Amino acid sequence: MITEPVSRLWHSQPHAIVERDGVRYTLLGTAHVSRASVDAVEDAIDSGGFDTVAVELDAGRLQALTDPDTLASLNLVDVIRKGRVAMFAANLALAAYQRRLAEQLGIEPGAELKRAVAAARERGLAVELIDRDVGLTFRRASSRLGFFGKLKLASSLLAGLMSSEEMGEAEIEKLKQGDMLESSFGEFAQTSPALYESVIAERDRYMAARLREVPDGAREVLAVVGAGHLAGLARHLAEDADPPGVLRAQLEHVPPKRSMRWVTSVVMVLILAMIGWGFWHGGAELGRQMVTDWVLITAGFAALGAIAAAAHPLGVLAAAIAAPLKPFRPPGISPGLFSAVIEARLRKPAYGDFLALRDDAVTLRGWYRNRVSRTILNFILTNIGSSVGVWVAGLRIARQMFG
């Protein structure tokens, strides 16, 4: 292995060296929005001192960085049917945040990671993607938060998505020392220990475990990671004693959702019981009035949600029909699902919609103009309207019962 006798450009960048199990790991801390980091990465790889290059990316993020047409291959109907709308929206928020940074700073966030992969492949070096899938990170972070925590998280992502303000110098300098995912969550990441644990601390342990899993034969590994991970990653790489496969499995596990379906079930049983009481004690007229109120209110609010999302008229109709059938629908089959699938089928997103998605997602007008984001908006707003309708109808029926 060639050892550099003289100081090189990358030596002036934050870095740490850890030797373990016959492998020397050189951890190079970078800023995801710095041209100097791109130059340092190229210099380190050109030095010829490494046989393997590891980067702070997962397969999905690498594909998004290297293939601008990635989104165009997405099956939007599958995203809706498989309940991945929240994840899609979170990834969209992150992409829009990165696009805003690129426009302001003149450099694509993560450019040094992209260049590390390209330069390594040009030299025939092994490439290892060591970061945890961003979807897993988001789901683990979300599982640690209560209802109001999740609401604050969603609000933080939405605020970052819709913001058109330029970042100040202090915020940019902080980003250079931090982490892209943490920064995209806004101020909430700074005040939420649960979010910090999932987004930063856990990923330090995960990447350390992945580095320990580099294939046999690797002796000099260059790991290109955000500067915010440097200290934690070096510590875990040197000290963690558990087998890397065991650690990685633990950090990939997503705890089961604390199901709130029992709450919905209780509410529906109470509403049905009140309607039954109305027929039994108030006569057919009161019972019919309660049923009519239930149908009109739940259908009306679901339809309003679809209308607010500029849904296709048939999507509005589907939402209105599906909402009153809540007591008889299988779990996970929502009015928003029906309406969004119809939207995606009748107003099928074009190739250009996917390509323009990151730009359109930055503005409210863009969300409505783009057929992809409008379908997602349709799903979300219709379900919000349906949920509001259930509670409003339930309260009205209760007033009729006790009034």
* Mean model confidence pLDDT for the chain: 80
pLDDT of residue 176: 56
Could you list the beta-strand ranges (E) of 21-70.
Answer: 23-30, 52-55
Predicted TM-score of the model (pTM): 0.70
Residue 213 has pLDDT above 90, yes or no: yes
Residue 26 has pLDDT above 90, yes or no: yes
Burial class (CB in 10 A: 0-12, 13-18, 19+), 313: exposed
Averaged pLDDT for residues 274-278: 79
Lowest mean pLDDT among 40-44, 248-252, 256-260, 337-341: 256-260
pLDDT tens by residue, 145-184: 766 666 666 666 666 555 555 555 555 555 555 555 555 5
For residue 78, give Cα distances in angstroms to 74, 97, 321, 361.
9, 25, 22, 20
> How do the domains of the chain map onto residue ranges?
9-252, 261-402
- The type of residue at 169 is E
